[in-house]
Amino acid sequence: MKPTGVRDDIATNPARRPDFGDPRLHSTAGATVVGARKFLIAYNVFLNTPDVDIAKKIAKAVRFSSGGMRFVKGAGFLVRGLAQVSMNLTDFEQTPVHRVFEMVKREAARYGVAPVSSEIVGLIPKKALEQAAEWFLQVENFDSSLILENRLAAVMGGKTAIGGLRAGIEPFVEQLAAPTATPGGGSASAATAAMAAGLAAMVASMSRGKKLYLQHEPELSAAIARLTPLREELKAAIDADAEAYNAVMKANKQSKTDTAKADAIIDASLKLATGVPLNVAEKAHEVAVIARSLEPITNPNMKSDLTTALALARAAITGALANVEINLASLKDAAFVSDIRKRVQALTA
């Protein structure tokens, strides 16, 4: 893309919003673009045989390039006198470590051998080990907050309040009540959608693993796997919405000193401010779809929780789209407005 293209795109395209700083190129330094992949886990499994051909056959069965598991690369080697299945796991959230180990173990049994140990080369995310602990210990309704160190870290970092549930929500409610423009309805909509996702995840988690719902295990696991990132993204949108509004206020002030570019400056900020609540509405809609799908496959005694989740999701959609409409009314880019209205229509059809 030409420099002028980058300059224009960064000011108008929400997907190119910088992680830090204003949405514009520096007049002399330009921009630094950094790409990053998900965390790679180097994971090896040793077999109770020196026959490296067996390790190679297992690696071929396990790795994705040969028809095996997604996000797994593998090869077989002879290491310290034992056959080793050497693997790189490129997305442990999609293909977790414990699932890979079980696959290696099952394939090894075909050749009359078994794993004797495994090793991690380098570092591994804590979440990957928590997933393995949940799987192998079969802990009911496991949540990372049950781990003592996690709970202490959350309290020390201010993410979990001491003094009951009210202590956790009260600061945000009081901020909403304060005579300031932010946080406002957009942030409240994001918080409401996050609560909807939390309730739906709770219902799915409390049915998963129970005998009455074992036939629905794949659907429940899939729902939890999707609701977890949705909840995190919606929580992040609470601050993002307030920041987007503040950016609009800043753009209005800047436009008074740079009248030649006033319209472009304001339009760029309004587009960013439109994107945040629209994304909230779309995620809330997805939460509602998942919550509705859980009704026939979860404990009927928790129907009221799903009803609440659906009501919260609908409220979030209504509130978020109201913020979208306010911004669209001030935008002058007809093509952008038309595209956004199509996405809004898809949510309200």
pLDDT value at residue 209: 83
pTM of the predicted model over 0.75: no
pLDDT at 317 over 90: yes
Secondary structure (3-state) at 2: coil
**Segment 14-30, tens digit of pLDDT:** 777 776 677 777 777 77
**Segment 92-136, tens digit of pLDDT:** 999 999 999 999 999 999 999 999 999 999 999 999 999 999 889
Return the number of other C-beta atoms located less than 10 Å from residue 115's C-beta. 17
Name which CATH class applies to 180-348. mainly alpha
Describe the crossing of helices 185-207 and 165-177 by its angle, rounded to 10 degrees: 160
Separation CA 77–CA 56 (nearest Å): 7
Bridge partners (DSSP) listed for residue 46 = 84, 117
Q: For the chain, what are the domain ranges?
A: 41-137, 180-348
The residue that leads in pLDDT, 103 or 251, is 103
Confidence of residue 152 (pLDDT cuts 50, 70, 90): confident
pLDDT value at residue 158: 60
Rounded (to 5) percent helix, strand, coil in the chain: 65, 10, 25
pLDDT at 1 over 50: no
User: Are 268 and 322 spatial neighbours (Cβ–Cβ below 8 Å)?
Assistant: no
Instruction: Work out the angle at residue 194's Cα, subtended by the Cα atoms of residues 188 and 200, and round it to the nearest 5 degrees.
Output: 140
**Segment 153-198, tens digit of pLDDT:** 877 766 665 556 676 787 888 889 999 888 999 999 999 999 999 9
Return the number of other C-beta atoms located less than 10 Å from residue 156's C-beta. 9
Q: Which CATH superfamily is domain 41-137 in?
A: Formiminotransferase, C-terminal subdomain (3.30.70.670)
User: Are 11 and 23 spatial neighbours (Cβ–Cβ below 8 Å)?
Assistant: yes
Query: Exposed/middle/buried for 246, CB within 10 Å: 0-12, 13-18, 19+?
Result: middle
pLDDT at 9 over 80: no
pLDDT value at residue 2: 46
**Segment 47-102, tens digit of pLDDT:** 999 999 999 999 999 999 999 999 999 999 999 999 999 999 999 999 999 999 99
Strand intervals (E) in the chain: 41-47, 72-79, 82-89, 115-121
If you average pLDDT over every residue of the chain, what do you get? Answer: 88
Distances (CA, A) of 108 to 43, 51, 81, 121: 16, 12, 17, 22
For the record, the structure tokens of 166 come out as 């009210």
Bridge partners (DSSP) listed for residue 304 = none
- The mean pLDDT value for 300-308 works out to 95
pLDDT value at residue 256: 75
Separation CA 339–CA 179 (nearest Å): 34
pLDDT value at residue 159: 60
Percent of the chain exceeding pLDDT 90 equals 62
